[in-house]
Amino acid sequence: MSQVAIRLPDVFDGLPEKEKQAILQVGVKKSIEERIKQLSKEVENAQKNIKKFEEKYKVPWTRFSQKEPKGWEEHEDYTDWKIWEEVLRENSATIEKLQICLEK
């Protein structure tokens, strides 16, 4: 299990140990839940942008990424689409890890 040092107000030291633990557990849980919400919005945005590219080129990223972009517009779309695919992949993986943290 990881340990993290956090600076807290001095008054926190005066609380019973049981209360300190409860506060920290709730705080971490709420923080994880909020981060999952933020990342989920980013995933939704990535999915919308990816769908626009899939509709425009009528292929999924796996096929589009295998060919050489033709012209400036296709090159720009390639770059943007690649970024959205990375956002989707990375944020989805992070959400999965955070959800596991909530289960423990």
71-103 and 17-57 are packed helices; what angle lies between their axes, rounded to 10 degrees? 150
What sign results for the dihedral spanned by CA atoms 84, 90, 91, 92?
positive
Q: How confident is the model at residue 3, as a pLDDT?
A: 84
pLDDT tens-place string over residues 3-19 = 888 888 989 889 999 99
Band (66; pLDDT cuts 50, 70, 90): very high
74-98 pLDDT tens trace: 999 999 999 999 999 999 999 999 9
Res 104: pLDDT: 76
pLDDT (tens digit per residue) in 34-58: 999 999 999 999 999 999 999 999 9
